[in-house]
Structure 1
Amino acid sequence: MDRLNVAANDNLLGLHGEPPHERILMASDAASGLQAIIAIYSTTRGPAFGGCRNWHYATQHEALNDALRLSQGMAFKNALADLPFGGGKAVIIRNTKIHDRMELFNAFGRMVESLGGAYITAEDVGTTAADMRAVQAETSYVSGIPRGGDVYGGNPSPYTAYGVFMGLRESVHCVLGASTLENVTVAVQGLGSVGWELCKRLHAAGAKLVVADIDSARTAEAQQLFGAQIVDASEIVMAKADVFAPCALGGAITGSVASDCRFRVIAGGANNQLMSLAEGDVLHRRGIFYAPDFLVNAGGIISCAREYLGSAQEQAVLAEIAEIGQRVHQLIERVQTTGMAPARAAVAWAREKMIAG
């Protein structure tokens, strides 16, 4: 692998209290400035499939932990979505001194190629379709790219938002007894690609929006287009709303949020919304329904998977994503039967599917 120094750790590291991941690959490339980690949690159902995150991490340990958690979530997500893939994730440690983005993602593409198909990548936070084009120059194990002609493919964010919308709507129906989202108040944290698309769908469905984002121009636009109420980013987790939709980075549901928030439903697009399963237990005891992120935000990976397999047209993909609503209903039935908190019930359900292969 040209100019790429690679260190691979098989069956060595994993999350605290969990078995080791199947494989962890770390790479650096002096020419491009690449520092990246690919974590493969499981290939029981097939090659590990999950996006590449480009983010600033305070330490390399923080980046590794993010990759480990995200890859586990992808394994659960792909299993619950009945996709023929295992779970993996990549993180690139963002370097503000890097000027040639294409060279950076070319190097990442070589890193992916070195795994020989054990891991398939796509967009995630901080990466774009153009970045995946640069990856594609070095490997075929990539998705989330606009394809020529009538071939299905492209940015998965709108499909992630559609899946969240379907999961949120079913959650509201089951928990609040509302047949529509008319006048249901939804607090949306983060107005990036997924959060913005979700707001568009919620507004069209008649929901009332409360929004927060670090970009004041973005919130002002949401106020103008959707009639959204703007709150400070630090206050959104305690907003007065029926539903909370975390669509920024993970960890929004801390212990204090789980104990003090006033929502009835939590359903959003961010990964790893709970700091741990313990927060999910607190929400459950308080009568707040948490729709696990790896269940409701699977629309993007469904889109990328069908693009990669070349097996669908857009309407078929949308129909498959719409089944997320049905799976939320099935999860609620499991919770009622077992008494388990939704997060734990969803993990158990995903593991059953992973064992079944």
Structure 2
Amino acid sequence: MLAFERIKDYEQVMFCNEPESGLKAIIVIHDTTLGPALGGTRMQPYRTVDDALEDGLRLAKGMTYKCAAADVDFGGGKAILIGDPLTDKSPDLFRAFGQFVQSLHGRFYTGTDMGTNPEDFVHAHRETRFIVGLPETYGGHGDSSVSTAHGVIYGIKAVLKRLWNDEELSDKAFAVQGLGKVGLKVAKRLLEAGATVYATDMNGNAVNELAAYAETTRGHFSAYEGDAIYDAPADIFVPCAIGGILNDRTIERLRVKGVAGSANNQLAEDRHGKALAEAGILYAPDYIVNAGGLIQVADELYGPNKERVVQKTRRIYETLSDIFETAEREGMTTDEAANVFCEKRLRAQSARSRFFLPEKPPKWRLR
């Protein structure tokens, strides 16, 4: 019931049902003050519709702040497909989903997220032009997890600079939670730099792949089982899996000095930002650290330009540095400082326009 009570704070929530394909989906548009909503489509076998809605609401709001922080002209949205990505996918399901996206006439752009991949959206693209993150053969930039991983590395370096006044990766240890599309790339980059990496993932193949890769680098690797990663003797915790992992139980176990990773909604509750600060742990707000993929897919709508994506992703370092300075100067937590930063931009744009309507002239060149 809590999730339904929160709908009043959102511009639009659409429930999508298409029995023939088995499609059960929710599209959430949080805020289009900055432009049309942009957010990935996540597919999971949620226990209840309310669980799926709650996830969509949290993620869509996070996208609003992520877009504001990344300085792209888009608002926050998210789509949820209820189903098992291993057994319930089909071309017909994604074509049906594409029809629902098209019905919003440009208020919502979407692409891959957890449980989906760019190839899935080739089918959706047959029904709607409001798809981003397509394979390069279909006019997209390709795998957005590459840009996300680059952004995480910039975020880690900003934390290192703040804590030790040194961005060097080789003399530090990192506890990486999750070796999926982003986490594995981040872990490999850390090993290439000569760092010590402790990592865990439910997928044993991913762990084995990283172990083999470590043998080709000057870094050092140790595998951890499940929750034991919270006890790893690392300098930086790098969460790259599910959200809500920074909570009363886990924060007290962490032995690190900083947190910077790609997982969405890392704080179980807002109060856990303060709990991290009280524990002497510098927290890099997740929606800023993981913005690289967003920057890439948003850039597609201006006409793909890889160098422009690299330049914008590099700014994650500068944005975090400014937020750390603001937090210290104003006596607030880093997540509070990040929210203030984003809300200031939303207020500035709100003075010019209230919300996005597709009839308004776009600021970019659409495909």
How does the TM-score come out when normalised to structure 2?
A: 0.89
Give the equivalent residue in structure 1 for 2:361: none
Matched, 1:346 2:338: yes
1:266 to 235, 253, 259: 259
Amino acid aligned to 1:337:
R
Instruction: Give the Cα separation in 2 of the matches to 1:273 and 1:15.
Output: 22
Deviation for aligned residue 1:350: 1.0
| Compared CA separation, residues 39 and 294, structure 1 to 2 (3 A) | same
Instruction: Give the Cα separation in 2 of the matches to 1:138 and 1:124.
Output: 19
Deviation for aligned residue 1:182: 1.2
Amino acid aligned to 2:345:
K
| Compared CA separation, residues 327 and 194, structure 1 to 2 (3 A) | same
Give the equivalent residue in structure 1 for 2:225: 232
Amino acid aligned to 2:224:
V
Deviation readout 1:97-118 (Å, 9 max, x if unpaired):
9655111111111111111111
Deviation for aligned residue 1:301: 0.5
CA contact (8 A) 2:7 2:13 kept: no
Matched, 1:71 2:64: no
Instruction: Give the Cα separation in 1 of the matches to 2:288 and 2:4.
Output: 20
Matched, 1:306 2:305: no
Secondary structure of the corresponding residue to residue 163 of structure 2 = helix
Instruction: Give the Cα separation in 2 of the matches to 1:208 and 1:245.
Output: 13
Give the equivalent residue in structure 1 for 2:166: 178
Secondary structure of the corresponding residue to residue 20 of structure 2 = coil
CA contact (8 A) 2:85 2:116 kept: no
Give the equivalent residue in structure 2 for 1:321: 313
Deviation readout 1:284-324 (Å, 9 max, x if unpaired):
112101101101100001000001221x4212211110110
| Compared CA separation, residues 355 and 33, structure 1 to 2 (3 A) | same
| Compared CA separation, residues 211 and 87, structure 1 to 2 (3 A) | same
Deviation readout 1:126-161 (Å, 9 max, x if unpaired):
111111111101100010012349x65112111101
CA contact (8 A) 1:188 1:195 kept: yes
Matched, 1:287 2:275: no
Matched, 1:165 2:157: no
CA contact (8 A) 1:15 1:69 kept: no
Matched, 1:219 2:196: no
How does the TM-score come out when normalised to structure 1?
A: 0.92
Give the equivalent residue in structure 1 for 2:217: none
Secondary structure of the corresponding residue to residue 109 of structure 1 = helix
Contiguous gaps of at least 5 residues in structure 2: 215-219, 350-367
CA contact (8 A) 1:165 1:198 kept: yes
Matched, 1:36 2:25: yes
CA contact (8 A) 1:238 1:257 kept: no
CA contact (8 A) 2:36 2:108 kept: yes
The runs of 4+ residues in structure 1 deviating greater than 4 Å are 13-19, 95-100
Secondary structure of the corresponding residue to residue 275 of structure 1 = coil
Deviation readout 1:49-76 (Å, 9 max, x if unpaired):
0100011211111100000000000000
Query: For this pair of structures, how many residues does the alignment match?
Result: 344
Matches for 1:1-357 after TM superposition, within 5 Å: 20-95=9-84, 101-148=90-137, 153-226=141-214, 227-310=220-303, 312-357=304-349
Amino acid aligned to 1:255:
D
Secondary structure of the corresponding residue to residue 39 of structure 1 = strand
Deviation readout 1:224-243 (Å, 9 max, x if unpaired):
21241000112112221101
Deviation for aligned residue 1:15: 7.9
Instruction: Give the Cα separation in 1 of the matches to 2:152 and 2:42.
Output: 20
Secondary structure of the corresponding residue to residue 35 of structure 1 = strand
| Compared CA separation, residues 94 and 271, structure 1 to 2 (3 A) | same
Amino acid aligned to 2:252:
S
Give the equivalent residue in structure 1 for 2:360: none
Amino acid aligned to 1:145:
L
Instruction: Give the Cα separation in 1 of the matches to 2:77 and 2:116.
Output: 16
Deviation readout 1:250-278 (Å, 9 max, x if unpaired):
11112111233111110001111111111
Instruction: Give the Cα separation in 2 of the matches to 1:156 and 1:147.
Output: 11
Contiguous gaps of at least 5 residues in structure 1: 1-12
Identity %: 36
Instruction: Give the Cα separation in 2 of the matches to 1:118 and 1:179.
Output: 40
Amino acid aligned to 1:356:
A
Cα-Cα RMSD: 1.9
Instruction: Give the Cα separation in 1 of the matches to 2:340 and 2:62.
Output: 13
